[in-house]
Amino acid sequence: MEQSQLTDLLGQMTLDEKIGQLLQITGDFYSDKAEERTGPMTQLGLNEDDLANAGTVLGVTGAEECRKIQTAYMKRNRLHIPTLFMGDVIHGFRTIFPIPLGLASSWDDEAAETMARVSGHEASVSGLFVTFSPMVDLVRDPRWGRVMEATGEDPYLNGKLAAAMVHGYQGDDLRGDTSRVAACVKHFAAYGAAVAGRDYNTVDMSERQLRDMYLPGYKTAIDAGAKLVMTSFNTVDGIPASGNRHLFRDILRREWGFNGVVISDFGAVKEMISHGVAGDERDAAKLAIKAGVDIEMMTVCYLRNLGDLIESGEIPEQVLDESVMRILQLKNDLGLFENPLRGADEAEERKVVMSQKHRNAARRVSEESIVLLKNEDAALPLDAANTVALLGPGARSTDLLGAWSWKGEEQDVTALDASLNEAGFQVQTTDEIFDYLDPSQQAIDAAVQLAGKVDVVVLALGEPSFMSGEASSRSDIRLPQAQIELFKAVQAVNQNVIVTLFNGRPLDLSDVQPAKAIVEAWFPGTEGGRALADVLLGKVNPSAKLTMSFPVSVGQVPLYYNVDNTGRPYENDPEGKYVSKYLDVSNYAAYPFGFGLSYSSFEYGQVEVSDSSFDAEHPLEISLTLRNTSERAGTEIVQLYVHDLVGEVVRPIKQLKGYQRVTLEAGESRRVSFTLSEQDVRYVHLGDRLESDPGQFDVMVGPNSRDLSEAIRVELF
Ligand code: GLC
C-alpha cells in the first residue's frame, strides 16, 4: 500500500477500530491451539467486536492455524485490515540453537546471524511475522534467571551480536522476502540491572551510566533497522518503562529517530498500578500513550479507557492516530495488505522446519558455543584406550533446549550418552536415572560404585532448564547440593573426573574445582548433545569464550570485567588493609569475561601500534602476530581492550573495543590487526555529551580480559 492509502485507511477507521489496533491478545481468544503463555493470564472480558478489531496476536503458530485465524479475522474486520502474528523465537523456532548466553560465547557475528536467519525462516513458514528478539539487556548478575537470554556484560559485544541477529531475522528486503520476520529489540531498558538479581525488581542508576553502559547495545540493534522495541517491566529512574516518556519519547524516538512500533511487555501497562504510578487502568492508559507505547500486550487499559481520554480531550486524537499509523505501517512493511499470510505455507513448513540443513547449522553454532574452562593434564579429549563412565543428571538428559525454546521438542534432542555412542565411543553408565535436584540414594551408590571401576569419569551436571529464564532468579548460584555431594563421592574414588555443565547462568563452581576438566555447554540446543560429544572426543576443538564473568562466590555479585579503578584499588597495595577488597574472597572472577581454553595453544607476539598518537582523522592500527604452537588446528578469539586513563568521569580500567576469531593450522602464524578510531573511545560525559577525551590511553591485546599484553600507551589529540 502507498502511504496515501494508509492515510485514507486511517481516515475511515472509527475511534473503536483505531483503539483496537493497539491491543495484542494471545491466540487462544481465536483458537484452541495457541501454545504460548508467557505471563499472568487474566480474564479480559473481550466481546466479538474487540476480537474483530484487536490489531495483533501473540503466540499462535502453524501455517494452517494462522491461515484459519487470518481468514476469519479479515472477514470480521470491517475494513479487512489483517492481524499480525507475533511470538518469542529467542534462539530457535523448532530447530533450537544454544541459549543466547551460549551463542554469544562463540563471539561469532555470523553465528548470531545464522541463528536468526534459520529461526526466522522456520517461524515465517509457520505463520509468524514478528519475533520478540534480540534481547539486548546488559547483564552483570547471574542471580537473574534471564541472563540465559542475554549475550553478556559488554555493551560493544552485545550490540554487534544483536545487530547481526536483526539482519538475520529481517534481511535486506523484509516486504519482498517472506522467509524473513521483523525483529523486536527488548527489553527497553536496562531490565538486566534488577536490584539483587531478582526478576521484575527495581532498576536504579544514573542516567549517565544508563546511557554509557546499558543503552548502546539497544541502539546498535535499532540502528541495524529493528522494526519494534519492547518495553521492560522495570522502573527507570522511578518510572516504569511502559510509562516513561523520557526513555521512549526523548531518547528512543527523538534522539535516536526510531519511528517503529513500541509494544509493552506482557501486562506491563496495567502493572503500573501495582508499581504505584497509576491509580487505575485509566491512569495507566494515559501514562503509556503519552510515553509512546503503541501496542498494549494482554491488558485492556487502552481498550477500556482511550476512547474516554480522547473524547474528554485529555489525549489528543492525533496521538492515537500516530500509534495506529505506526502499526499500519508495520503491517504494510511486512506486505500484509497484499499478502496477509506472508510466508505461511504448509508445504514449506514441512520442508523447512527442522530440516537437516537447519540441524547442521545449529550443530555448528553449538560447537562454537561450548567453553572449555579447565583441562588439567590434557584430561580432554577423551582417550579410547581408557575405560570411561558417564554419570550424573546430564548423562541421559534431553533437557538441553533452555527456558525460551517454546516450539522446541525434547524428542528432537540426542542426549550426551547416545551422542557418544553414536560417535562410536563406548561409555559405561548406570541404569538409574539421576535427578538434577533429588537423586535416589540408589542412583548415587550405583554411580560411585561404577566410578571406582573405570579410568575416567565424565560427570554431567548443571541446572534443569526451569531454574533459569523468566521469573527464575536464584540467590545461591552453586550447583544443586545433591550434585555437589555426588561430585565429592565420585572424586573420592576416582581422581580423573571431567565435569560437563548444562546450565543457564554463570555458576559458582568452587565445589567442582578439583575436577581435571570443566566444560561449560550451557543449554546447547537440539544438536547440543552431539556437539558436546564431539568436543569431549576432540572431533571439535573448543574455541568459545565467556561473555559473562563466573564469580568465585555469589557474594562478589554484581561482578564484571569493565570495573572502575576506585580511589584505593586493591592492586596498588595487595597486602594493605585500606584498599578495595573483601576479607573472605578475592576481587576477581573464577573465570573472567573473554576466558576460554582450546586443545590448541596460541602464542601472542609483541603488540605494535602504527603511531604513538591518533586523532579523529587518523585512527590507530594495532597489530601482533598470533601463532598456533600446537599440533592441531584451532580457533583463537583475539581481544582488544582500551583504558582511557583520565576522563571527565571515571572510566573503566579496560573496555573491549575489538575481537577477531582467528583459525590457524598447527604451527601456523598470522598477523592480526585492529583499528582504533577516535569515535571508538567516545563515551557519555556529564550532560549526556557523547565525546572523547584527548589524552592518554592504554591499549592491550590478549586471549581474555585478564591475561593481557603489556599496555602500550598512546595519545589521543
Ligand atoms: C514475557 C517476556 C517477554 C516476552 C513476552 C511475550 O513476559 O518478558 O520477553 O517477549 O512476555 O511472550
pLDDT in tens, 357-403: 999 999 999 999 999 999 999 999 999 999 999 999 999 999 999 99
Chain segment 638-662, per-residue pLDDT in tens: 999 999 999 999 999 999 999 999 9
Cα distances from 433 to residues 397, 439, 440, 492, 519, in angstroms, run 9, 8, 9, 21, 22
3-state secondary structure of 326: helix
Pocket of ligand 1 (CB under 6 A): 38-39, 88, 132, 186, 265-266, 470
Which cell goes with 402?
A: 533452555
Give the distance from CA 323 to its chain's centroid: 28
- What is the CA(265)–ligand 1 centre distance, in A? 6
The whole-number pLDDT of residue 43 equals 74
Please give the pLDDT value at position 376: 98
- C-alpha cell belonging to residue 488: 565429592
Atom of ligand 1 nearest to the CA of 230: 10
More confident residue, 518 or 48: 518
* Per-residue model confidence as pLDDT tens digits over 423-443: 999 999 999 889 999 999 999
Fold for the domain defined by 3-87+180-342: TIM Barrel (3.20.20)
Residue 305 pLDDT grade (very low, low, confident, very high; cuts 50, 70, 90): very high
Give me the residue spans of the domains in the chain: 3-87+180-342, 365-554, 600-716
Q: Burial, 357: exposed, middle or buried (Cβ in 10 Å; 0-12, 13-18, 19+)?
A: exposed
What per-residue confidence (pLDDT) applies to 41?
60
What's the pLDDT at 366? 98
Give the pLDDT band (50/70/90) at residue 590: very high
Query: Using an 8 Å Cβ cutoff, are 589 and 550 in contact?
Result: yes
Task: Give distance in angstroms: CA of 629 to centre of ligand 1.
Answer: 47
Burial of residue 421, with CB atoms counted within 10 A of its CB: 0-12 exposed, 13-18 middle, 19 or more buried:
middle
C-alpha of residue 132 to centroid of ligand 1, in Å: 8
* Ligand 1 pocket test, candidate residues 36, 58, 88, 263, most atoms within 8 A of CB: 88
For the CA of 184, the nearest atom of ligand 1: 10
Segment among 36-45, 98-107, 232-241, 259-268 with least mean pLDDT: 36-45
Question: Hunting for cell 545464522 — which residue is that?
Answer: 114
Give the DSSP H or E segment for 262: strand 261-263
pLDDT at 36 over 90: no
Q: Is the pLDDT of residue 341 over 90?
A: yes
pLDDT at 683: 97
Q: What percent of the chain has pLDDT over 70?
A: 98
The mean pLDDT of the chain is 97
Distance CA 58, CA 296 (A): 11
Confidence grade of residue 33 (pLDDT, cut at 50, 70, 90): low
**pLDDT for 39:** 62
Which helix or strand (DSSP H or E) is residue 537 part of? helix 528-537
What is the pLDDT at residue 38? 66
- Whole-number percent of the chain with pLDDT over 90: 96
In CATH, 600-716 is 3.40.1230.10: no
How far apart CA 162 and CA 340 sit, in angstroms, is: 28
Ligand 1 pocket: which of 230, 233, 295 to mutate (most atoms <8 Å of CB)?
230
pLDDT tens for residues 115-164? 999 999 999 999 999 999 999 999 999 999 999 999 999 999 999 999 99
What are the grid coordinates assigned to 302, written together? 487502552
pTM over 0.85? The answer is yes
What pLDDT score was predicted for residue 29?
85
Q: Domain 365-554: which CATH class?
A: alpha beta
Owner of C-alpha cell 536468526: 116
Per-residue model confidence (pLDDT) at position 677: 98
Decide if 636 contacts 684 (C-beta within 8 A): no
For residues 217, 218, 222, 228, the Cα torsion angle rounded to the nearest 10 degrees is: 150
Identify the pLDDT of residue 40.
Answer: 62
Distant-in-sequence, close-in-space partners of 259: CB < 8 Å, separation ≥ 6: 253, 326
Question: Among all residues, which ones are annotated catalytic?
Answer: 265
DSSP 172: S
Would you state the pLDDT for residue 45? 86
Residue 335, all three cell numbers: 506486505
8 A C-beta contact, residue 100 and residue 89: no
3-state secondary structure of 407: coil
Give the pLDDT mean for 662-676.
98
Residue with CA closest to ligand 1 atom 1: 38
Which three cell numbers, joined as nine digits, stand for 436? Answer: 538434577
Q: What is the dihedral of CA 321, 326, 331, 337, to 10 degrees?
A: 40
415-424 pLDDT, tens digit each: 999 999 999 9
38 C-alpha to ligand 1 centroid (Å): 6
pLDDT at 355 over 90: yes
- In the reported structure, the alpha carbon of residue 266 is separated from the centroid of ligand 1 by a whole-number distance in angstroms of 6
Give the separation between CA 503 and CA 70, rounded to whole angstroms.
Answer: 39
Closest CA to 54 of 85, 33, 12, 10: 85
**Pocket test residue of 89, 200, 233, 265 for ligand 1, highest count of atoms within 8 A of CB:** 265
